Structure 1
Amino acid sequence: MARWDGTETAAGPAGDPGTADGEARWFRVLLHAGFFLLLGSSLTRFLMRHTGDGIAPWVVALSAVLAALYVAEPAIGDERRHRHLWLGACAAVWVALVLLAPSFAWCSIPLFYLGLRHLRPPAAGVLVGLLTVVSVTAQLRLAGRFEFDLLLAPPAVAAICVAVFVRMDEQTRRQRELIADLVRTRRELAATERREGTLAERQRLSMEIHDSLAQGLSSQRMLLQAADRTWRSDPATAHRHVRAAGEIAERNLTEARRFVHDLAPADLAGGGGLDEALRTLARRESTAGLAVRCHIEGVPPRRVPDRVQSALLRIAQGALANVREHAAARTAALTLTYLDDQVVLDVADDGRGFDPAAVRADGGVRGHGLPAIRTRTDQLGGTLTVESAPGEGTVLSAAVPLPAV
């Protein structure tokens, strides 16, 4: 359906409630009701004053034809040529009616709207001007003398109708553009959320793999290398290393299965909670050559959420993996401290240490360990502090707030 700017829309006929040409339904109903009210009142006025007039049957017939044409608007379809023929027929019948009975000039108001609606601006302006001239002529004929107000009133009414239509059409166009922008924005937002979700899931998977499977594989490699070195000189020790590597492989398999099903870490599955999981981790790391002590200070003021327990255990695993692979330390200590509003995990070692400022300067690209720990802490709304210096060991502290009761 044509709009005032001449563009086409994918709308149905004007009488269709599902049309998308922009007018509000109430306005269309009011316009249609006004047309038939004007047509009926003009016909009634004519018949009351010209009962025995010979042109009365013609006026009645033309009124019926105009009403039928108006009602037939939904059936004309979207073909431009059909719309133009239909509009021309309506205008011709109306002109004939006005020539026979000038009181029908008031029916031009709905025809203004039809012309503006179905024609491009130049043609619509010509039609509105023609209808206005016919209306002025009809009113002057009806008055029987020249009256200045009759010369100005129809053009004023036409100008008001055009202004109202153009204003409504402009608002409709802006609303349509706004809706299109909103739909496009929603699609872009959904695409962005999908991308962010994909990246977050990739990051989660990389951290889980680093903190579970990769650590286990690293421990196995170290144990097997140790077994290979002592295989001939100390078979018992070598056998102990191989057995420990087998136990780590079994735990890795359990972790992998739980990892696939997105379950909590295996060390938390036994029901002993975070305290027992950290003690188990310390004992396991001690069998791999790094002496790890575990200290628990205080008691939890409230139940620690599973998400926090899982993250703190992964932080401890990642920190010990860094100690084992990079620090060349002999001992390490895990300290879990429960405070009133937070829980603090400290991981200290006596290794070679490093410069934290240098790590921040290169973007933390020393592998997945420290960035993964920082990400986990940030996701819980906590803070991560790393204190270290070359030759002085490292202390990593992750403080995570506990949710209020």
Structure 2
Amino acid sequence: MTRPTETEQDPDTAWLARVMHIAFFLLLGASLARFLLRHPWEDRSPWIVALSGALASLYLLGPVVGTRAAPRRIAWLSTVVAVWILLVVLAPSFAWCAVPLFYTGLRTLPARAALGLVTLLTAFVVFAQVQLAHGGWDPNLIVAPPAVAAIATGVFVYSDRQAARQRALIDDLIRTRRELAAIERREGTLAERQRLSMEIHDTLAQGLSSQQMLLQAADRTWDGDPDTARRHVRTAESIAERNLAEARRFVHDLAPADLAEGGGLEEALRGLAARESTAFRVDGSAVPLPERVQSALLRIAQGALANIREHAGADSAALTLTYLDDQVVLDIADDGRGFDPVDRPGGVRGHGLPAMRVRAQQLGGTLTVESTPGEGTVLSAAIPLPSTPTHPRPPSVPPAHPPSNPPFQES
């Protein structure tokens, strides 16, 4: 078991070390005082005083040589034990200084070496107690020192193992926290990539696709109908201008350009419908919507109209924004060629519809698609209003099937 270095000690270990140091010097001082009181100055007294001073000085060097079982630490401990043994042989009163030495040996040496040192120290304590009894027999003289040594060793080993388990647990917690932080960073990166991919698909990619179609149309009609060709070019120029605004928004991470111009979601949808020659209507009493909801609904409308323009072959389409008591619903209907949801589960076509569904789900809402081949398509996005719980999710309003003519008059 690897024990922490002096600078790595936890507060409890450092506190225990200070207690043991204080106890050692108290026992050493008490033992010297007892000897001097019981034995007035004798021939061995100078040796006892000198060895006591030497033992105190050596013990003070303990923190300097560290706590690991390095060669200098073992040499220091061996010297301390040798000086203590000399003291015990000359004056048995110093025997109980062995208790702090138990702790020092157990903390410094490997398990087997530490147990050997504890056994040696205990033997000398028994020897000292017998000497102090002056030949009188007392079972406690034989039993008490090993019992004290066993208790001290058991407490230390238990505490050391508990500290090791605690350090392992803390290391595991730190490692787990770092792994969770790394996972969160990766998930954040993936989420941001997904967000940017949806933003680019719903704005720049669709705008570039529209420009391509308009420029191709202008090229086909340039010789026969220059006015129509120029009109296509001007429309492509307008789309390019809006794409430039969107690109700048990406750099500054602002709201959608239509929303940033002011007027809120209704004005943004009305402007989008006008550019796409699409009918637009608002039902219900308008309520303030969070910016995230406005942005999501506008992006869904842009994506749906782009799909209609590129894939549906529709003669007309319509947007309806409906405010209900507990949700806001956006319906996009077209009279195009439609498709079979059974053949295309969930109505998934390309990247656009999955991106719209993700936008709705991120706000606790739903996206439903109803379509029949030859009868058009209705897409409905329902987002719960902030003042109402988002679970369970409220059902969306069933959309009406689109007629052959534009189903709504533009407001």
Are positions 1:385 and 2:374 aligned together? Answer: no
- State the shift of 1:252 in Å: 1.0
Query: Which of 25, 28, 33 pairs up with 2:22?
Result: 33
Q: For 1:93-112, what aligned pairs fall within 5 Å after superposition? A: 93-112=83-102
- State the shift of 1:54 in Å: 2.4
Per the normalisation by structure 2, the TM-score is: 0.89
2:276 counterpart SS class: helix
Between the aligned residues of both structures, percent identity stands at: 66
- State the shift of 1:357 in Å: 4.5
Query: Which of 342, 355, 358 pairs up with 1:375?
Result: 358
Structure 1 unaligned segments of length 5 or more: list them: 13-17, 287-291
Q: Which residue is 1:306 aligned to?
A: 291
Q: Which residue is 1:348 aligned to?
A: 333
Aligned mates of 1:276, 1:111 — CA distance in 2: 85
Q: Which residue is 2:153 aligned to?
A: 162
Query: Which of 368, 374, 387 pairs up with 1:404?
Result: 387
Change (3 A) 1:34 1:342: same
Change (3 A) 1:305 1:138: same
Is this contact kept in 1: 2:346–2:369, CA < 8 A? Answer: no
Aligned mates of 2:320, 2:306 — CA distance in 1: 16
- State the shift of 1:392 in Å: 2.6
Q: Deviations over 1:75-97 (max 9, x none)?
A: 21457110111000110111111
Q: Which residue is 1:192 aligned to?
A: 183
> How many residues end up aligned between the 2 structures?
386
Q: In terms of mean alpha carbon deviation, does 242-251 or 81-90 score higher?
A: 242-251
Per the normalisation by structure 1, the TM-score is: 0.91
Q: Which residue is 1:319 aligned to?
A: 304
Aligned mates of 1:28, 1:227 — CA distance in 2: 89
- State the shift of 1:225 in Å: 2.1
- State the shift of 1:295 in Å: 0.8
Is this contact kept in 2: 1:23–1:172, CA < 8 A? Answer: no
Q: Deviations over 1:235-275 (max 9, x none)?
A: 22222111111111111111111122111111112211110
Are positions 1:296 and 2:296 aligned together? Answer: no
Q: Which residue is 1:137 aligned to?
A: 127
Q: Which residue is 1:289 aligned to?
A: none
Q: Deviations over 1:181-219 (max 9, x none)?
A: 112112211211111111111111111100101111111
Aligned mates of 1:346, 1:324 — CA distance in 2: 16
Equivalent AA in structure 1 for residue 200 of structure 2: I
Q: Which residue is 1:84 aligned to?
A: 74
Aligned mates of 1:28, 1:391 — CA distance in 2: 87
Aligned mates of 2:340, 2:129 — CA distance in 1: 96
Q: Which residue is 1:339 aligned to?
A: 324
Aligned mates of 1:266, 1:372 — CA distance in 2: 19
Query: Which of 216, 220, 232 pairs up with 2:207?
Result: 216
Q: For 1:178-327, what aligned pairs fall within 5 Å after superposition? A: 178-286=169-277, 292-301=278-287, 303-327=288-312
Is this contact kept in 2: 1:22–1:172, CA < 8 A? Answer: no
Change (3 A) 1:382 1:361: closer
Change (3 A) 1:46 1:356: farther
Q: Which residue is 2:313 aligned to?
A: 328
Aligned mates of 1:156, 1:353 — CA distance in 2: 91
- State the shift of 1:44 in Å: 1.4
Q: Superposition RMSD on alpha carbons, in Å?
A: 1.9
1:374 counterpart SS class: helix
Is this contact kept in 2: 1:23–1:168, CA < 8 A? Answer: no
Q: Which residue is 2:167 aligned to?
A: 176
- State the shift of 1:21 in Å: 7.2
Shift >4 Å, 4+ stretches: none
Change (3 A) 1:100 1:358: farther
Equivalent AA in structure 2 for residue 119 of structure 1: L
Aligned mates of 1:98, 1:355 — CA distance in 2: 100
Change (3 A) 1:22 1:83: farther
Equivalent AA in structure 2 for residue 207 of structure 1: M
Equivalent AA in structure 2 for residue 373 of structure 1: M
- State the shift of 1:352 in Å: 2.0
